[in-house]
Structure 1
Amino acid sequence: MGKVLLPFGTIWENPTGKRAVLSCCICACCILYLFYVVSATRSLVLTGAAWLTIFSFFACFSTILSLGVHSSPTDKYTYGFVRASVLTVFSTSVLAQLSAVLQLKEAFESLIASDHHHGLGHGVADGHAINHYFYSAAFVSSLSLFVAAYHVANQPFQYVLNAAQSNSLQEHATDISYFICQIFPGMSRFLLPRLNAMSLLALISSTCCVLTHWFMNDFEWFDSFTTLVLSGAVFSTMYPLTYYTGMILLQTTPTHVHAQIDRCLSEATTVDGVLELKNSHFWQLDFNTIAGTVDL
């Protein structure tokens, strides 16, 4: 008999599952709206914002997949689909990096092209006509990122954001946060020890969209320039997440547990009847489990 990977009835009965499904629906609506905005404006920076909403959707979907995996039965001799949530986070972060690379390519081509007006659609070049597009797109893209970051607690993506190494943007933001907290100590609850990477992306994407609306009529290249900034921010933010999940998929163990594993092996050799332990191999199975084999 085949296994059911996603028992939707069980997920819907779970309060976390309901919030995850609702988050996916919100992100899907954001995607549809931004697709319409991109088709109307032909703006590169809004295209980047649309990619961020797609990223947010799959970040929420990873929660549904994780709940389905833990609810489905597994064979006692195999690990089943327990690594599916890790693979989902890895694939989502790679998708975001790939979209950033494509946006970088489009932005460079736009900058070196002789005609920079191709970045905006015909008939909407007037600032009043597209005013609501850029401001609303900034709000919608930020909303999708905030929903993915905070609407569902204990989700796989949130775990990776907390466990992965800080990216360069977070390190610079932390320096600024320390300065702000010296003036307003109460802000340390929200700004320290480091800002959530998805919140930082929401701030950067909104800023790029608003600045593009302000300056695109005066500077024809500004849409391409802000696209470069946004793409660089997305790539630098996603790289630590890709690296962290990629090392799990490569069956490695975190460095901070090596000493604990060695201690356990040393204690095992003192058990009566155990002469020697050979060919030990341990690896991180998912975000919370470490598996291993050893010849006794």
Structure 2
Amino acid sequence: MQKNILKSGIEISEIGLGCMSLGTNYAQAEPIIERAIEHDITYFDTADIYDRGINEEIVGKALKKYQNRDDIVIGTKVGNHLADDGSTFWDPSKKYIKTAVKSSLQRLGLNHLDLYQLHGGTIDDPLDETISAFDELKKEGVIRAYGISSIRPNVIDYYLEHSEIETLMSQLNLIDNRPEALLNAIHAKNVKVLARGPVFKGLLTANSNHVLDNKFKDGIFEYSNQELGETIASVKEVESNLTGLTFKYLTSKDPIGSIIVGASSIEQLDENINNYEASKEISFEKLKAACGRVKNLEYTQHLK
């Protein structure tokens, strides 16, 4: 498995396990994490909000036996404040971030975090205060690196210019190619992209027709349902393995750090790994042809 290096020297596997889909049953989740390690996946992505902290507990418990391995990297996220009544509200304050990290560490069973990410954010946040919270945690040795999870260009631009983020998690795939406009700036700052949604809710899989009818009835972005179906059919003419193709698309981008795949079963994880390996055999000529058959989308909101 290809490993990509963050500015701090942390190495992350080019395929990362998105742990949100693991569920709350440890007996079912633990074998998936074990299989990920068998596949040489070393980056595990979770968040404090997933299943109200249970996901962090499961990830921490399953990976506890590997804590002596320097290559296992855990990333979690903060910002969605879970209230006592079960509701959430957005809280990017320094006070909350520096309190919440302690709870995440406890649930994960760790004394420090590899990667801590802001789980969203707007341009109206107290941005400098938020950044200082992460900077202080890093200086204190509580975290090794930090990043943001965002699809807002104005927020991303601010963090690129005013912080020491090492990762940007954002949806990116062959159809949702909006972040392309930001990739040069991201790469210039030596920030790595954690690409979530690589198969776009299943649209970029062998099950594309079913997903198109069930999840994209009204289309999406600049695509109507019909246009999306026609585009997928056209891309299939170039390469029938849509998942392999979107993996090829992602790994061809310089800032890619890790492609975050979710898995609720061992079989689903195996399929993703098989397609990742198959993507290496897809030519750049095919990739270029496929890219020529999709729309070049651009962000239309949160630009300033």
Q: Would the TM-score normalized by the shorter structure come out above 0.5?
A: no
Q: Which has the higher helix share?
A: 1
Structure of higher RCO (CA pairs closer than 8 Å, 6+ residues apart): 1
**Shorter-normalised TM-score: what interval?**
under 0.3
Structure with bigger gyration radius = 1
TM-score (norm 2): 0.23
Q: Which has the higher strand share?
A: 2
